[in-house]
Amino acid sequence: MHTFAESEDPYCLRHGESARLLAGHPWRRFVVIGDSVAEGLAEPVPGYSETQLADRIARELSATAPDLQYLNLGHRGLRTREIRVSQLGPALDFRPDLALVVCGGNDAFPATYRPEKVDVDLRAMITALRGAGAEVITVGLYNVSYSPSPAIADWLRPGLRRRMQTLSEHTAAIAAELGTLHLNLTAHPAATDPGIYSSDGRHGNSRSDAIALAEAVRLLGAHLAANRHVSRP
């Protein structure tokens, strides 16, 4: 179990790191679509910001682009099909140039999970957003089967672990196919640490959000750096 605060956490952002990585970024219209992870239901952890993940990403982007417009359409409990039906249209109407898509956890949690059906809807959302000119970030979710919560019976954990891993692998494959920026939290060294999960057994906590923020900022920073390198004469 960790005993340090966010400023000391080896997985979190260092002072000034975000400003350096995101300096001069081009994004001015940031939209978020998805489920409760997008909406933000992380449980507080002493020493860590209680601001939820998507809001924290928007705040870091705004620090170097004060004119950034931000819309979070995320809503708890939704499956991927429902996100596509209820959120994709408003997201496109917002005319984003950067979009975060977080979905699939509610599909993969029960044993009725059908990866191919989730894939269809995820692919459709990414294609539409990219076609409208947005850079898209997809997410390989933390594997909540490692949560210590008694809300997940021990006999359910092996199946849930396989389903969450399958969801992550399918999301990564679609990201590679469609050219998104992919945030692979499933593979993060902290993903198996029970201390990053909320007591409800379905979500991460404030520490997991702080780690995810650092990975998102570093992902965006690497993308910006690569583009600057390519654009040099």
C-alpha 204/C-alpha 147 separation (Å) is 9
Q: How would residue 232 be classed by pLDDT, with cut points 50, 70 and 90? A: low
pLDDT tens profile 201-226: 999 999 999 999 999 999 999 999 99
Per-residue pLDDT at 137 exceeds 60: yes
C-alpha 91/C-alpha 30 separation (Å) is 9
- pLDDT for residue 230: 65
- pLDDT for residue 228: 83
pLDDT tens profile 86-123: 999 999 999 999 999 999 999 999 999 999 999 999 99
Q: How would residue 147 be classed by pLDDT, with cut points 50, 70 and 90? A: very high
- pLDDT for residue 3: 60
- pLDDT-above-90 percentage for the chain: 94
Domain ranges of the chain: 11-226
Tell me which long-range contacts 76-79 makes (C-beta under 8 A, separation of at least 24): 76/35, 76/36, 76/39, 76/41, 77/35, 77/36, 77/106, 78/34, 78/35, 78/103, 78/106, 79/35, 79/103, 79/106, 79/107, 79/118
- pLDDT-above-70 percentage for the chain: 97
Nearest residue to 139 (alpha-carbon basis) of 46, 68, 44, 211 = 211
Continuous segment of H or E residues that includes residue 32? strand 29-34
pLDDT tens profile 169-191: 999 999 999 999 999 999 999 99
- DSSP secondary structure of 129-142: HHHTT-EEEEEE--
Mean pLDDT over each residue of the chain, to the nearest integer: 96
CATH architecture of 11-226: 3-Layer(aba) Sandwich (3.40)
- pLDDT for residue 4: 74
Per-residue pLDDT at 2 exceeds 70: no
Nearest residue to 106 (alpha-carbon basis) of 63, 139, 76 = 76
Contacting residues for 21 by C-beta, under 8 A, at least 6 apart: 217, 218, 220, 221, 224
